Amino acid sequence: MPKNILVVDDDAMMRSFFAAVLREEGHSVEEAGGGKQGIDALGRSDFDLVLTDLRMPDLSGLEFLREGRKVRPGAHWVIVTAYGSIGSAVEAMRAGASDYLTKPLRDPEELRHVVRRVLREAESEARISLLSEEIGRRFPPHETLFLGEGMREVRRLVHEVAPTTATVLVTGHSGTGKELVARVIHDLSPRKERPFVPVHCAALPETLLESELFGHERGAFTGAVATRKGRFELADGGTIFLDEIGDLSAGIQVKLLRVLQERTFERVGGTRTVTVDVRVVAATNRELKAEVAAGRFREDLYYRLNVFPVALPPLASRADAIVPLAVHFAAKFAAAFGKEVPGLTPAARAALTGYRWPGNVRELQNVIERAVILAKGEIDVRLLNLEADDPREPAPAGEGVLQASEREAIRKVLAETGGNRKQAARILGISVRTLQYRIKEYGL
């Protein structure tokens, strides 16, 4: 896709050469004869990429880079320097440049290759940012996440650790919202304007995961036609979320340990050390201590990850949050499908509260989405399509599955509230009078 590129160099012949090569690639190119002209150009137009010489008389390339990034923070920069001044290029990279070229160029293809790679990586970063925003829109607001007494301590821990740089290990069953907690930690941190990059460690085989995490150099393996940044580099300055960390192979565990200790690594097939400033949040539904004892997980890596543990309770232990979450999901899906927001009948509320939710919040969301699609008015228990749950007490003879579910829900909430009928009725979303009637009907 054609991009807007600014070429800045006090050498008119070199500047024209760069511009001609880039125009042949289909890009729109503007030229400037020095750093001050470059600043003026950045103030007038939006550029995707700036190609600038480092040695210029009016404003050095490094000064131009620093000032220009303030004017156009979204632009990407490629520095051109003489072969003997690599140290200056490294300093420019630290100041925010994406890559550099040394002159004289051996071949115009060098320029094409570097520009293509930087623009491709810029598009990748933009996709991650858009995906991050989309995920943020799909998830419930922070306060909805922390509904219920069972999440009070989790909320406190998250708000305490978010402003720090500490590594966080989030544990809990599948579907409890571990990625959402990681996102909240990022959103409440000073890094919130930088990328949040999720990686699902169990989704890729070891060879692909290593490249995904750390990137690779051109020719590192069959199909590696260009150098590619990994997720750690894309997350530089922000947060990387490593989900299902307990599934890492022994080889990847060693490399990850080094990143956590030193914040450095080499790309696959490369020798140059890459340094990143990344906050790590990891998550697992496994018991890592048991994995360490079994020899499947490195003990030193476990302690590096477990700096600040946050354990998420299963949804079944958060009875007071189930109905409010269901109401939130019903409103969200009704808006998405262009339907009136459906209410929940008392029987549906009781069934939701009494169900054990093996899939936790994710399962609740899926159940409500289906119910909203089918609902013509209120959501009744028949639309929930919950699997019959094994009650802790056998249902009386002749009692149907729906009645048994409602009976178990009421029994469970009464037990959790210590028999407080007013509080139990509020959790179940029914009146105290209805609750008293049901208690008598079910012999509770």
Distance separating alpha carbons of residues 87 and 100, to the nearest angstrom: 11
pLDDT value, residue 141: 53
- What does the pLDDT read at residue 258? 92
Q: What is the pLDDT of residue 283?
A: 96
Sign, CA dihedral 156-159-160-161, equals: positive
Cis peptide before 104 (omega within 30 of 0): yes
Q: With beta carbons less than 8 A apart as the criterion, state whether 297 and 182 touch.
A: no
In whole angstroms, give the CA distance from residue 353 to residue 37.
66
Tokens found for residue 69: 């990034």
Distance CA 269, CA 208 (A): 13
DSSP summary character for residue 279: E
Question: What does the pLDDT read at residue 85?
Answer: 64
Q: For residues 57 and 41, give the distance between their C-alpha atoms in angstroms, rounded to a whole number.
A: 18
The answer to whether the beta carbons of residues 405 and 299 sit under 8 Å apart is: no
| Cβ(234)–Cβ(124) below 8 Å | yes
The structure tokens listed for 45 are: 């137009």
Per-residue pLDDT tens digits of the chain, which is 444 residues long = 788 999 999 889 989 999 999 999 999 999 999 989 999 999 888 899 999 998 888 888 888 998 898 888 888 999 888 765 666 777 777 778 888 888 878 788 889 988 988 888 777 666 555 544 544 444 445 667 888 888 989 999 999 999 999 999 999 998 899 999 999 999 999 999 899 999 988 877 777 888 889 888 877 776 666 778 889 999 999 999 999 999 898 989 999 999 999 999 988 888 888 899 999 999 999 999 999 999 999 999 999 999 999 999 999 889 889 999 999 899 889 988 888 889 999 889 989 998 989 889 989 999 999 999 999 989 988 899 886 444 334 444 444 444 556 677 787 778 777 778 887 777 776 777 777 767 877 777
Architecture per CATH, domain 4-126, reads as 3-Layer(aba) Sandwich (3.40)
Question: Can you give the pLDDT at residue 390?
Answer: 40
Say what the pTM is: 0.59
The CA-based angle 275-279-285, given to 5 degrees, is: 125
Contact 191, 279 (CB under 8 A): yes
Instruction: Please give the pLDDT value at position 185.
Output: 95
Looking at the domain that runs over 316-441, which CATH code has it been given? Answer: 1.10.8.60
**How much is the pLDDT for 138?**
47
Give the 3-state secondary structure of residue 308. strand
- Give the pLDDT confidence score for residue 444 in this predicted structure: 75
Question: In whole angstroms, what is the distance from residue 21 CA to residue 108 CA?
Answer: 7
Place of tokens 């008015």: 377
Among residues 83, 94, 88, the alpha carbon closest in space to that of 60 is found at 88
How far is CA 417 from its chain centroid? Answer: 37
Which amino acid is located at 279 in the chain?
A: R
Residue 282, pLDDT score: 96
β-bridge partners, 268: 216
Residue whose C-alpha is closest to residue 213's, from 174, 259, 180? 259
Q: CA–CA distance from 364 to each of 47, 64, 243, 385, 437 (Å)?
A: 45, 53, 21, 11, 28
* Same-fold call for 4-126 versus 316-441: no
Q: What is the pLDDT of residue 394?
A: 40
**Pairing of the two strands 273-275 and 264-266:** antiparallel
Tokens of 271: 């020798």
**Residue 361, C-beta contacts closer than 8 angstroms, at least 6 positions apart:** 175, 176, 177, 315, 325
Task: Find all residues with CB under 8 Å of 243, minimum gap 6, and list them.
Answer: 178, 179, 198, 199, 200, 201, 202, 282, 283, 284
What are the residue boundaries of the structural domains of the chain, listed by start? 4-126, 145-311, 316-441
Q: Note the pLDDT of residue 107.
A: 83
The highest-level CATH class for domain 145-311 is alpha beta
What pLDDT is recorded for position 28?
A: 92
- What is the structure's pLDDT at 387? 63
What H or E segment, with its residue span, contains residue 342?
none
pLDDT of residue 373: 93
